[in-house]
Amino acid sequence: MRDATDAGLTAPALRGGPRKGLCTDCGVSRMADPRACGRACQFIRPDYAGAEARVHGRTARTEGDEAFFGVTQAMLRLRLTPPAAGAQWTGITTALAARLLETGAVDAVLCVAPDPADRWKPMPVIVTDPARMAEARGMRMGFAPTVALVEPARAAGHRRIAFVGIPCQVHALRALEARLGFERIVVIGTPCSDNTTTENFHRFLAAVDPRPEGISYFEFRADYRCEIRYDDGRPARTVPFLRLPLSKLPADFFPMTCRTCVDYTNRLADITVGYMGGDGDQWVIVRNPAGAGVLALLDGRVASAPLSDRGRRRGAVRGFIANTARAAGGLPLRAMPDWARPLAAWLQPRIGPRGLEFARARVEMKAAETVLHLRRALPRRMKAMIPPHVWRLVAPYGLRPGPGEGGEG
Ligand SMILES: Cc1cc2nc3c(=O)[nH]c(=O)nc-3n(C[C@H](O)[C@H](O)[C@H](O)COP(=O)(O)OP(=O)(O)OC[C@H]3O[C@@H](n4cnc5c(N)ncnc54)[C@H](O)[C@@H]3O)c2cc1C
Ligand code: SF4
Ligand code: SF4
């Protein structure tokens, strides 16, 4: 990457730090008025229904796929053609942001690029040159105070901005949007789950690979395998989820924020770009007319395929909930015997849910984790923190609000 202060891509110094307790350092606590966290935070008193009505003009339906994925104008399976080098999937996210800059629809994009000192650490950047969006490609593991960039962006005179971010950042941005004084904010969101600190992620890479410094790419794929690529000459490889050394990780490897997160699919973005429901391609949820306008900028550069929807998720989700309940109750996880792992790893992609059913399963699993971990660790937060859409997702599995746990609406 070129110097981060070159024209076209800047990494402004951001003061302060995260708040104590549940905080993913989204950036609000580093702004001129850190008290805004009280209004903005996903972990304090999120109001998804109110925000959906403001952003999309209506709340999500409680039946059908909107109950899982949020307000949807169109759902698509796409790939950028040709795929962009260095992208996490095919590069639709950064290509959309680059097109917004190229066409003059926005003056600046707020997103993250790799920190020059550590490629896995996300560094908040303001991009004004579309060619430099390429440097933001790829996923970093860790928390980045990207929302705080709104202040230097405004000070630099930008009036129309795009924001690329994960759900907890987007919740905060939407809560503050009306007071920020921009003419236009376009939000390109990605789904997010199981984030952790960059330091923890380095520990994970060291457990997965004897020479982790050569790893240039890591992803959990929708075919139940994770893919590892190297830039030290070794060929790429895939490892079934079940063979990952997850049980060897310390109990606090995934922070409480990400175990109690209430939005997997970035419900408040104008457009969500992920992979979960894409069955090997990318999975795109256009949520409103602004999102449709952004996607139209890639006309002729994306190939589409019909969404797939196979298998049954209920058994897998039930098993996951039973395991999580055991772990959340402090009991050891029932580890699968070593001899059974190769068999289960072989079976999973063949009989497990695929396409949209895989995405529904993951969304239900994450919702159940939220309820179980909050119930164990922070029961008094449940009433304010768990939105009705999460309770609806877990109800079929017998998880219902107890006294004082909320759930109305
Ligand atoms: C921690 C994490 C967990 C994720 N989990 C899932 C998941 O479970 N299911 C799913 O479908 N998708 C998930 N995603 C999104 C997925 O990894 C891809 O980013 C997405 O599919 C877009 O791919 P792309 O090729 O279009 O992105 P690219 O064009 O390569 O662009 C990637 C974009 O992601 C942004 N980004 C990278 N790292 C971070 C970060 N740490 N914080 C905020 N923004 C970042 C960059 O600014 C860049 O704009 C996750 C992303 C993150 C950061
Ligand atoms: S709003 Fe952001 S900075 Fe403030 S507490 Fe929440 S996650 Fe942390
Ligand atoms: S899992 Fe949720 S809380 Fe954690 S980083 Fe992702 S969006 Fe934020």
CA-closest candidate to residue 176, choices 379, 35, 11: 35
Q: What is the mean pLDDT of the chain?
A: 92
Q: Ligand 3 mean position to 281 CA, how many Å? A: 23
Q: How far is the C-alpha of 258 from the C-alpha of 293, rounded, in Å?
A: 31
Distance 91 CA to ligand 1 centre (A): 10
* Ligand lying nearest the CA atom of residue 175: 2
Ligand 3 centre to CA of 242 (Å) is: 23
| Per-residue model confidence (pLDDT) at position 185 | 98
% of the chain at pLDDT higher than 70 = 92
Question: Is residue 402 situated within a structural domain?
Answer: yes
CA of 190 to the centre of ligand 1 (A): 5
Q: Does residue 320 carry a pLDDT above 90?
A: no
268 within ligand 3 shell (Cβ under 6 A): no
Parent domain of 320: 309-409
Q: Is the domain of 43 the same as that of 182?
A: yes
Mean pLDDT of 77-88: 97
Tell me which ligand sits closest to the C-alpha of residue 261: 3
Instruction: Say how many Å lie between the CA of residue 183 and the centre of ligand 1.
Output: 26
79-107 burial, b if ≥16 CB within 10 A, otherwise e? bbeeebeebbbbbbbbbbbbbbbeeebbb
Report how far ligand 1's centroid is from the alpha carbon of 108 (Å). Answer: 19
Cβ(261) – ligand 2 distance below 6 Å: no
Smallest-distance ligand from the CA of 134:
1
Q: Answer whether 266 contacts ligand 3 (Cβ < 6 A).
A: no
- Residue 1 belongs to some domain of the structure: no
With a 6 Å cutoff on the Cβ, whether 277 touches ligand 3 is: no
Q: What is the pLDDT of residue 333?
A: 53
Contact present, 226 and 149 (Cβ < 8 Å)? no
* Ligand 2 pocket, residue 37 CB under 6 Å: yes
Quote the ligand 3 centre to 11 CA distance (angstroms). Answer: 22
Whether residue 320 is found in the same domain as residue 183: no
* Mean pLDDT across 282-309: 98
- Of 187, 206, 232, the residue that ends a domain is 187
What is the spatial distance between Cα 161 and Cα 100, in angstroms, rounded to a whole number?
Answer: 9
How many structural domains is the chain composed of?
2
pLDDT tens digits, 53-78: 999 999 999 999 999 999 999 999 99
User: Measuring CA to CA, which residue among 375, 409, 378 is closest to residue 391?
Assistant: 409
**Which residue spans within 215-293 are E strands per DSSP?**
215-220, 225-230, 237-240, 271-274, 282-286
How far apart CA 255 and CA 253 sit, in angstroms, is 6
Domain end position, chosen among 164, 187, 210: 187
CA of 27 to the centre of ligand 2 (A): 7
Which is nearest to 216 in space by CA: 227, 200, 204, 203? 227
- For the chain, the helix, strand and coil percentages under 3-state DSSP, each to the nearest 5: 40, 20, 40
Evaluate if residue 407 carries a pLDDT over 90: no
| Ligand 3 atom with least separation from CA of 167 | 7
> Does residue 200 form part of some domain?
no
| 18-48: pLDDT as tens digits | 999 999 999 999 999 999 999 999 999 999 9
What is the Cα–Cα distance from 62 to 393, expressed in whole angstroms?
10
Identify the three-state secondary structure at position 404.
Answer: coil
The per-residue pLDDT for range 325-354, each reduced to its tens digit, is 887 665 545 555 666 666 666 767 666 889
Is residue 34 located within the same domain as residue 164?
Answer: yes
pLDDT for residue 6: 62
Report if residue 215 sits inside a domain.
Answer: no
Tell me: pLDDT of 175 over 90: yes
Please give the pLDDT value at position 2: 44
State which of 142, 160, 187 marks the end of a domain: 187
When pLDDT is averaged across residues 243-251 and rounded to a whole number, the result is: 76
Which ligand is nearest to the Cα of residue 219, counting in written order? 1
Q: Closest ligand 3 atom, CA of 255?
A: 4
Band of pLDDT at residue 1, cut at 50, 70 and 90: very low
22 lines ligand 2 (CB under 6 A): no
Nearest ligand 2 atom to the CA of 42 is: 6
What residues pair up with 283 in beta bridges, in sequence order?
Answer: 77, 274
Beta strands 271-274; 184-189: pairing state: parallel
Distance CA 115, CA 140 (A): 9
State the average pLDDT over residues 306-329.
88
| Tokens coding 203 | 């520990």
Ligand 2 atom nearest the C-alpha of 24 is 7
Say how many Å lie between the CA of residue 274 and the centre of ligand 1: 7
Q: What is the pLDDT of residue 5?
A: 52
CB environment 355-381: b (16+ within 10 A), e (fewer):
bbbbbbbbbbbbbbbbbbbbbeeeeeb
Same domain, 46 and 179: yes
Mean local confidence (pLDDT), 183-203: 95
Do both 182 and 314 map to the same domain? no
Supply the residue whose CA is at minimum distance from atom 2 of ligand 2. 26
Going by C-alpha positions, the residue among 62, 42, 409, 17 that lies closest to residue 260 is: 42
Q: What is the pLDDT of residue 90?
A: 97
- Ligand 3, atom 8, lies closest to the CA of 168
Q: Which of 110, 112, 194 lies closest to 158 in space, CA to CA?
A: 110
Selected residue with higher pLDDT from 346 and 300:
300
In a domain, 89, yes or no: yes
Q: pTM higher than 0.75 for the full model?
A: yes
